[in-house]
A and B are shown apart, each in its own frame.
Chain A
Amino acid sequence: MTDRPDIRAAVERRLKRRHAAERRFRLYGVLAITVAVAFLALLLGRIIEQGHSAFVTHSITLDVPVDAARVDPAYPQGANYDQMAAEALLVRLGVDANTADNGRAVRDLLSPDMGFQILAQVRADPSLIGRTVTIEAPVGDSADLYFKGEISRDTPEEQRVLTDQQIGWLDQLERQGLVEAHFNTGLFTRSDSTQPEMAGLLGAVVGSALMLMVTALLSIPVGVLAAVYLEEFAPKNRLTEIIEVNINNLAAVPSIVYGLLGLAVFIGWMGLPRSSPLVGGIVLSLMAMPTVIIATRAALKAVPQSIRDAALALGASRTQTVFAHVLPLAMPGVMTGSIISMAHALGETAPLLMIGMVSFVPGVPEGILSASSALPTQIFIWENAAEAAFHERTAAAILVLLVFMVVMNAVAIVLRRRLERRW
């Protein structure tokens, strides 16, 4: 055995190296956290950077003469109002050569929404035929990108979607004060469209809301009751054990498998309508149920045994004890857990792809049985779109989705803070 001075010397000799290793190890930890947080910042930063521009849009105000010669009062939808608007714009721009090329070039700068609005006005008031209407409509998607500075003059002409001539026209319009930038209300008041400047999120938001309603109505009551059974009533036997193992495993089943289940059982076998919020809601509720059960059980576990003993000792039955005393006390935890799992369900995408919620749905869904899209699938659809103008809208849709999720989580946190009690 070594002598003590030797030991002290040996220890001292290595101290420096050991402390360096300690600092290194600690640094790895700091680095890991930094990397994770930096990615979060990068992700959110990029999405805000890409999406913020979608909240602003440019519209053009134009006086369009409704040519009586070209509109049949009996069949107003047969007329080409886009062409009329384009001609009015050419006049405004002072281009007198009304060639087919010029017509097409200038029509690209306008949105079909202009034509739809003229049609709507003419239908509402046929006396407008032959007169001039003043229409404010979004500019075309490329023109909008140009006004936002996303399309640069310096790019060679053949590499951009707008020609030099078109850009010249846009500059001219801006000088004439016909173009105005304003908040993009259309993003929230319109539904999906093939034209980026006319596409909005209303249909998707309503679809998500309907779906979430179905999910909440199914998964929360069933999940809470199941948790009450498992925590308060279930005998400790094989069956209970199987159910418990089952729930734990269900929580880890890939979400796409739930989509396959929905497709095969609810659509294929039961014949429920494809793409409907009902099917989406049922599938999401099956996914959310294990989380609701787990959260509720944790809340029930936190209620001290003394509460149960006190109620039972007063002659209350087990059922009375649980529903009159234990469950109310566990309610804050149950609500928090439920809201968080609903927020999670709101962002779930993969199972919705399986049940057909990726189809193009131009309107607002009327009910839980009509075809609908949802916020996350809308993001997926727009991300796949070819037009560059859809990219900023995708990011904007993500921001809207994240805002909803943040609000739900914030409500859950506030509830927890307000109602939580410690035993």
Chain B
Amino acid sequence: MDKTLEKTEIKESPAAPAQGGKLVISSSPHFLNTESIPKIMHTVVMALFPATAASVYFFGFRALLLILVCIGACLVTEYAFQKIRNKPVKIYDGSAAITGILLAFTLPPGFPIYGAILGSVFAIGVGKMLFGGLGYNIFNPALLGRAFLMATYPVLTTTWVEPRTVQKAVDAVSAATPLAMMKFEGKFAPLSDLFIGNVAGSLGETSVIAILIGGLYLRYKGYVNWKLPLGYLGTIAVFSGIFWLINPAKYPSPLFHVCAGGAMLAAWFMVTDMVTSPTTALGQWIFVICAGILAVIIRLFGGLPEGVMYSILFMNAFVPLLNKHTRPKVFGEGYKVQ
């Protein structure tokens, strides 16, 4: 290729930085942004704070302990992998801490500590570091850790407690999640409880309002593409709404589906994972619509009460394919020279 195409040198430009008096314009990107991985990650941690506070309010300090254990185990695992492989240690960029928080958010409040450590080690070790670290992982590490724990400890991961009873650990009242009640007993929890989070469920998934505050903060900061969360929740609402219109007595309302289980948390913090979601607009639409339909199908007709985790993991596998085949045309591409 002609050298001048790659690198154009402009002499004596007024805006030229002091680089030997020359402004060197290389191939794009041209903007030097102040964004960095640590800055984005720390903003996400801030955005997770309301949900953390809600989990401590509803499930007591046991919830905080689980979150801290998961963060610690994730950081130690990442550190160990980077040391063994002689790679630069980057545990302070916050990505491992986010994986830890999100993994803890998907666990039941009474989950044992050793299980949380095992899940964190798997999430970071197998889910992220074996693929080559941040940016190379195919699957969302937190969800992968949760899926591993689901297969490893099927009973412990589905033993839920009534909110605000864990403080007195001896008489924590076991309870069913709204989705399990819907599936196995045909009862629908009131929407107001779901919205505030006063229901049995995973640590950080129950309080819709706390997650929404964090998610909107991320949107305000510009780190979330609105297509992903709204597309995911919208698909869940529309697709479950079809069944609700057919038989409102058997199928719960679209609002119930959006507020129950992990849908809200996943929509704002897992679907929007920058590494494991598609980069093109068309790819993102396909990703969220397929994931939303899958989640509703698993919830209504599958063997499990909750389908959010598997819907996202399943669609994560398609992300490289979506990125490849939905790439927009380069200007002039496909134009045939006469």
Bound pair (A, B):
no
